[in-house]
Amino acid sequence: MSSSILIKNGHVIDPASGLDEKTDLLITNGKVASIGDNQEGNGAKVIDASGLIVSPGFVDLHVHFREPGYEYKETIKSGAMSAVAGGFSSVCCMANTSPVNDNGTVTSEIVKKGLEAKAARVYPIGAVSKNLDGKELAEIGEMKEAGAVAISDDGKCVLNPKMIRSAMEYASMFGLTVIEHCEDESAKDGVINEGEVSARFGIKGIPPTAEDSIASRNIVISAYTGLPTHLAHISTKGTVDAVRLAKAKGLKVTCEVTPHHFTITEDELESFDTNFKMNPPLRTKEDLKAIKEGLKDGTIDCIATDHAPHASWEKEVELDKAPFGIVGLETALPLSLKLVEEGVISLTQMIALLTCRPSAIFNLPGGSLKKGSPADICIFDSQKKWIVEPEKFLSKGRNSPFNGKTLKGKNIVTIVDGNIVYNPANL
Amino acid sequence: MPTATEELNFTGKNLIRMADLTADEIRGLINTGLRFKEVSEREIKKVPALRGKTIVNLFFEPSTRTRTSFEIAGKRLSADVINISASASSISKGETFKDTILNISAMKPNAIVIRHSSPGAALIASQITDCSIINGGDGAHAHPTQALLDLMTIAEKKKNFENLNVTIVGDILHSRVARSNINALRSLNANITLCAPPTLMPPRSDVFGAKITTDIKKAVKGADVVMMLRIQQERMGQGLFPSLREYARYFCLTPEVMKETKDDVIIMHPGPINRGVEISSEVADGNKAVILYQVTHGVAMRMAVLYLICGGTKDE
């Protein structure tokens, strides 16, 4: 069991309990023991958080940790270390490994490796269908028992509407939500957003309608069945509008957005740089504006990174041959803080989008600093400027579109379950 | 037409896409091409300009016409020309594009001509190596030497590019030839009209700064230049149009359609032509077609490009 930790003089913000003040926070036995001024640690390790923000550890509903099968891209250990470097204490990893996480044995193995990593909490997401083929349901019950927190064929869309409905209905028996990667067949062979850049440079486009059509389909099924649907990494104005409408009708529709989709646009692809290639693709300025609106008015439930590491040699190829995906865990915080600086959302809203709101979607522990909560905490400096140097990432992935950029805001300490798992500055 | 003194305006190390060139550089290249045309008319078709220089034709997708044109151009300048095709090299053994470029560069050629199915391949290659890169066509992105030889053909037949009416008909969506010509013609202030079924036109066609129509008769009305694009049969399988028969019904350049053009119109086609599909035999073989001049000019223009990029001295 971990020893006590006293975090002194930090600006403690916990949207879940409405806390927002400069105070001290005491951790004992892996739990938040008390919050209040001038606490005595009685031998606890003291962390001086003066000038820093103390937040619940961030919760990422969408990462790809590549193990088993693609350990050269990322292992559960390296991914979990990358997570805590970025301030994340909990991550949910998608099922598109090799073998696919479509049965309890693979799920158990991921849980075991996650615990061994002694970094972020690693929650497996099981597959909807066996081998992500979209044909037969995976053994959802067994995966739930082994520790799966949601199910998804992410990377692929469940195209068959009968199949996605079955998955939602069957998973509801285990209290699991189905996550959809919204992409219909019109996106086939597409490389970047279908728009101005694809037209000018003759690059195959992925139309925004590819996302909107599936998002709308899932909303319709959710309305009909009364079951929840969670839409992964939404990227278009059309989908933001559809989710807003669904929420107004009181439907159980939730969604997430990635930091890159609220920061950069298709214009970056003029460089043909494969580190700007991901799926869904970077969209237009209008889409970016709609996403910011959605974050502001609560339509978008949370920020998730879609952290997708690849080996450098896999990305150093022609644009249309490069795999989709970028790393995101270690740059998510400063990109989110930029929204605060721009006045799109408040700091409290930002923290909510990274903590209590995502954890509520899958009923995960953490995401709050209420007394008795698991001591999952990050302490960050919202003003510290740093230059993104991917070779210094704890992730094995170097595929960041923000390479060389100066960002503002850096995580300093991460505590998971009362243990300090990240503290390079030795606070 | 531009004067000879402008011809050395192009001093670039690479030729990737027309959008990178200034109007003066384009005019300089056209003039150099026109001057090289004469070499091909000689009995002994060789000048020593690039003696001792090595040019690699690195072709990742099949091409007879462009590869042959570059090869003849290089040889007429006395360069050593080596052809490498994807099927005959380590590319098929799984070597990455980057490693292929690095390996060929390590043999120290003066220039590499790259043909590739992926848009941006030539640009990426130019970021990998210090060797000069000439884009011989990359996916639907760019084909700058084709645009230059087209412009050279227009320059020989027409007085000025300013306000020249140029119509391009066919598969704009998948055409690197169209994109390169559009970029170049815009730099030179020509008026551009594009004509295609909506399925073969990108949704954001407004980026081309051109007039857009689906009616070929309206498209060619008052045209000084009509460029027809090759239609590829495989697009039918992608559901983009029903049949070659129906395509021809609406988009074939026939004598009937030709009535709408100016009398001194010139008809161009990058080849190879599909007779009776995008162009009727009467038009292709008629006195307004300059399709074979384009092929001849291809050699001269590629001589000009190789000469200016490889820094030869034209000591005849």
User: Can you tell me the distance from the alpha carbon of A372 to that of B118, in angstroms, rounded to the nearest whole number?
Assistant: 56
List chain B residues with CB under 8 Å of A207.
203
For residue A1, pLDDT beyond 60: no
CB nearest B96 (choices: A200, A203, A316): A316
pLDDT at residue A42, as a whole number: 79
User: Can you tell me the distance from the alpha carbon of B137 to that of B177, in angstroms, rounded to the nearest whole number?
Assistant: 8
Side-chain half-sphere CA neighbours of A414 within 13 A: 25
User: Can you tell me the distance from the alpha carbon of B179 to that of B218, in angstroms, rounded to the nearest whole number?
Assistant: 21
A30 and A120 within one domain: no
Q: Give burial (CB, 10 Å; 0-12/13-18/19+) of B254.
A: middle
A357 and A215 within one domain: yes
Confidence of residue B311 (pLDDT cuts 50, 70, 90): confident
Q: Does the annotation count A287 as an active-site position?
A: no
Query: What are the tokens at B163?
Result: 């306000």
Q: How far is A335 from chain B (nearest CA, A)?
A: 28
Helices (H), B138-290: 144-157, 176-187, 216-220, 234-237, 244-251, 255-258, 281-284
B11 in a domain, yes or no?
no
For residue B71, the enclosing domain spans 18-142+298-309
A369 in a domain, yes or no?
no
For all residues of chain A together, what is the average pLDDT?
97
B111 and B35 within one domain: yes
Q: Give burial (CB, 10 Å; 0-12/13-18/19+) of B206.
A: exposed
pLDDT 10s digits, A354-388: 999 999 999 999 999 999 999 999 999 999 999 99
A111 and A32 within one domain: no
A278 and A327 within one domain: yes
CB nearest B140 (choices: A194, A202, A272): A202
pLDDT at residue A199, as a whole number: 97
Side-chain half-sphere CA neighbours of B270 within 13 A: 27
Containing H/E element for A60?
A: strand A58-63
B6 in a domain, yes or no?
no
Q: Are strands A377-387 and A419-422 parallel, antiparallel or unpaired?
A: unpaired
Q: Cβ separation of B207 and A202 shorter than 8 Å? A: no
A301 and A331 within one domain: yes
Q: Cβ separation of A202 and B98 shorter than 8 Å? A: no
B47 in a domain, yes or no?
yes
pLDDT at residue B1, as a whole number: 36
Percent pLDDT > 90 in chain B is 86
Please tell me which residue in A306, A376, A381, A417 is annotated as part of the active site: A306
pLDDT at residue B239, as a whole number: 87
Search chain A and give the residue with CA nearest B96: A317
CB nearest A202 (choices: B97, B119, B123): B119
User: Can you tell me the distance from the alpha carbon of B152 to that of B140, in angstroms, rounded to the nearest whole number?
Assistant: 22
Query: What are the tokens at B90?
Result: 């380590």
CB nearest A321 (choices: B118, B179, B202): B118
User: Can you tell me the distance from the alpha carbon of B293 to that of A330, in angstroms, rounded to the nearest whole number?
Assistant: 58
List chain B residues with CB under 8 Å of A199.
202-205, 207-208
User: Can you tell me the distance from the alpha carbon of A116 to that of A57, in angstroms, rounded to the nearest whole number?
Assistant: 19
Percent pLDDT > 70 in chain B is 93
Q: How far is B232 from chain A (nearest CA, A)?
A: 16
> Cα torsion for B170, B175, B176, B177, to the nearest 10°?
-20
Query: What are the tokens at A217?
Result: 């389909």
3-state secondary structure of B143: coil
Search chain A and give the residue with CA nearest B97: A317
A366 in a domain, yes or no?
no
Interface of B with A (CB under 8 A): 96-98, 116, 118-121, 123-124, 139-142, 174-176, 179, 202-205, 207-208
pLDDT 10s digits, B35-93: 999 999 999 999 999 999 999 999 999 888 999 999 999 999 999 999 998 765 555 66
For residue B117, pLDDT beyond 60: yes
Q: How far is B128 from chain A (nearest CA, A)?
A: 10
A161 and A22 within one domain: no
For residue A329, which of A354, A294, A292 has the smallest C-alpha distance?
A354
Q: Which residues contact A259 (CB under 8 A, 6 or more apart)?
A: A303, A305, A328, A331, A332, A335, A336
Q: Cβ separation of B120 and A199 shorter than 8 Å? A: no
- Is residue B308 a contact partner of residue B111, using CB atoms and an 8 Å limit? no
Please give the tally of structural domains in chain B. Answer: 2
A260 in a domain, yes or no?
yes
B111 and B239 within one domain: no
- Give the burial string for A161-176 (b: 16+ CB within 10 Å, else e): eebbbbbbebbeeeeb
Confidence of residue A39 (pLDDT cuts 50, 70, 90): confident
A346 and A404 within one domain: no
pLDDT 10s digits, A234-260: 999 999 999 999 999 999 999 999 999
Domain CATH number, residue A36: 2.30.40.10
Q: Which residues contact B80 (CB under 8 A, 6 or more apart)?
A: B52, B53, B54, B55, B74
B275 and B193 within one domain: yes
What is the average per-residue pLDDT within B167-183?
97
pTM check: above 0.80: yes
User: Can you tell me the distance from the alpha carbon of A332 to that of A388, in angstroms, rounded to the nearest whole number?
Assistant: 12
A91 and A17 within one domain: no
- Is residue B18 a contact partner of residue B138, using CB atoms and an 8 Å limit? no
What is the average per-residue pLDDT within A153-173?
97
pLDDT 10s digits, B281-292: 999 999 999 999
pLDDT 10s digits, A42-95: 789 999 999 999 999 999 999 999 999 999 999 999 999 999 999 999 999 999
Report CA-CA distances (Å) from B109 to A80, B46, B102, B281: 47, 20, 11, 42
Domain CATH number, residue A110: 3.20.20.140
pLDDT 10s digits, A255-314: 999 999 999 999 999 999 999 999 999 999 999 999 999 999 999 999 999 999 999 999
- Mutation pick from B123, B128, B129 vs chain A, by most beta carbons of A within 10 Å, is B123
pLDDT 10s digits, A389-412: 999 999 999 999 999 999 999 999
B53 in a domain, yes or no?
yes
What is the average per-residue pLDDT within B196-205?
96
**Beta strand segments in B66-215, E:** 80-85, 111-116, 132-138, 165-169, 191-195, 211-213
Q: Which residues contact B76 (CB under 8 A, 6 or more apart)?
A: B39, B40, B45, B46, B47, B299, B303
For residue A20, the enclosing domain spans 4-54+374-422
User: Can you tell me the distance from the alpha carbon of B212 to that of B200, in angstroms, rounded to the nearest whole number?
Assistant: 12
For residue A164, which of A144, A182, A149 has the smallest C-alpha distance?
A182
Strand partners, A92: A123
A346 and A390 within one domain: no
- Is residue A127 a contact partner of residue A142, using CB atoms and an 8 Å limit? no
pLDDT at residue B3, as a whole number: 45
A157 and A33 within one domain: no
A178 and A276 within one domain: yes
Interface of A with B (CB under 8 A): 194-196, 198-203, 205, 207, 272, 313, 316-321
B200 and B75 within one domain: no
- Is residue A180 a contact partner of residue A158, using CB atoms and an 8 Å limit? yes
Strand partners, A47: A7
B209 in a domain, yes or no?
yes
B84 and B50 within one domain: yes
Confidence of residue A41 (pLDDT cuts 50, 70, 90): confident
Q: How far is B285 from chain A (nearest CA, A)?
A: 31
User: Can you tell me the distance from the alpha carbon of A95 to that of A92, in angstroms, rounded to the nearest whole number?
Assistant: 10
Q: Helices B176-187 and B144-157: crossing angle, nearest 10°?
A: 50
B181 in a domain, yes or no?
yes
Q: Are strands B191-195 and B165-169 parallel, antiparallel or unpaired?
A: parallel
B163 and B134 within one domain: no
For residue B229, which of B188, B266, B196 has the smallest C-alpha distance?
B196
pLDDT at residue B315, as a whole number: 45
Q: How far is B71 from chain A (nearest CA, A)?
A: 25
For all residues of chain B together, what is the average pLDDT?
92
Q: Give burial (CB, 10 Å; 0-12/13-18/19+) of B5.
A: exposed
Strand partners, A257: A303
B9 in a domain, yes or no?
no
Report CA-CA distances (Å) from B230 to A200, B200, B236: 19, 12, 13
Phi, psi of A352, deg, nearest 5: -60, -40
List chain B residues with CB under 8 Å of A318.
97, 116, 118, 120-121, 124
Q: Helices A332-341 and A347-354: crossing angle, nearest 10°?
A: 150
- Mutation pick from B96, B101, B118, B143 vs chain A, by most beta carbons of A within 10 Å, is B118
pLDDT at residue B93, as a whole number: 67
List chain A residues with CB under 8 Å of B203.
194-195, 199, 205, 207
B138 and B49 within one domain: yes
User: Can you tell me the distance from the alpha carbon of B305 to that of B316, in angstroms, rounded to the nearest whole number?
Assistant: 18
Query: What are the tokens at A287?
Result: 């889409």
Q: Which residues contact A278 (CB under 8 A, 6 or more apart)?
A: A260, A306, A308, A324, A325, A326
Percent pLDDT > 90 in chain A is 97
Search chain A and give the residue with CA nearest B122: A318
Q: Helices A347-354 and A285-297: crossing angle, nearest 10°?
A: 90
Query: What are the tokens at A64?
Result: 């790809």
B284 and B151 within one domain: yes
pLDDT at residue B236, as a whole number: 77
Q: Give burial (CB, 10 Å; 0-12/13-18/19+) of A298.
A: middle
pLDDT at residue B94, as a whole number: 74
Q: Are strands A19-28 and A31-36 parallel, antiparallel or unpaired?
A: antiparallel
CB atoms within 10 A of CB B276: 14
- Is residue B136 a contact partner of residue B155, using CB atoms and an 8 Å limit? no
Instruction: Decide which of B239 and B209 is more confident.
Output: B209
User: Can you tell me the distance from the alpha carbon of B110 to that of B52, in angstroms, rounded to the nearest whole number?
Assistant: 10
Of how many residues is chain B composed?
A: 316
DSSP state of A93: E
For residue A230, pLDDT beyond 90: yes
B289 in a domain, yes or no?
yes
A427 in a domain, yes or no?
no
Q: Cβ separation of A318 and B142 shorter than 8 Å? A: no
- Is residue A415 a contact partner of residue A89, using CB atoms and an 8 Å limit? yes
A367 in a domain, yes or no?
no
Domain CATH number, residue B170: 3.40.50.1370
Q: Which residues contact B154 (CB under 8 A, 6 or more apart)?
A: B161, B164, B166, B225, B266, B268
Please give the tally of structural domains in chain A. Answer: 2
A22 and A68 within one domain: no
